[in-house]
Amino acid sequence: MVGPRVFFNEGDTVLVRLTPTDSLEHFIYYYKDEPVNGVFVQHEQSFRIELDHLPKGFGQNELAELKRWYAVKIDPVYMFATQNLVDYFSAAYYKANTIPNWNHTFVVTINASGRVTHVECPTRDEIWTENVENEVFGMFYNMGRWQPFFDTWETRDIKITMALGADLHSITSR
């Protein structure tokens, strides 16, 4: 991930996490509107939080909340957030030769480095031909990298289910 990640709680900025370097991830935590600079340190099996100062009233509950914010998982974003899915698939459909006018549902596997490594189409009917398969799967396999799924300090493989509407207005994923 490139650049800071900002976390909000009820519309207010609560944490800004900067790009990790080695075993350090610097952050700014907003405690009662007071910015507190700190670093998450993860080395092998040990983890600690270092703060530049302890604000008045900061205690174990606030420390536990800060740990929960650290453990937040970050879902993948297509093409490192440089292009919207609807724009990508709209252009891909426009260029395709054999895409039928019906809704599609796919299970897409994205590896830890952000590449599409497997695509499944759970339901196929008589409209599904080898040409359709080549066109549709080609759209996924030819995509650029996705933002990988972050689980604390590691990226992980992830499977998403994606529904593509024939009109391209109903692209969803989970």
- What is the average pLDDT across 47-75? 89
For residue 27, which phi and psi values (nearest 5 degrees)? -150, 165
132: Cα separation from own chain's centroid: 28
How does residue 79 score in pLDDT terms, banded at 50, 70 and 90?
low
* Interatomic CA distance for residues 81 and 36, integer angstroms: 28
DSSP string, 154-171: EEE-EEEEEEE-TTSS--
Find tokens 């054999």 and name the residue: 98
Q: Which residues contact 64 (CB under 8 A, 6 or more apart)?
A: none
Instruction: Convert the pLDDT of each residue in 20-56 to its tens digit.
Output: 888 899 999 999 888 999 999 988 889 999 999 999 9
Q: Where are the domains of the chain?
A: 5-70, 78-173
Provide the whole-model pTM. 0.53
How does residue 108 score in pLDDT terms, banded at 50, 70 and 90?
confident
The residue with greater pLDDT, 107 or 148, is: 107
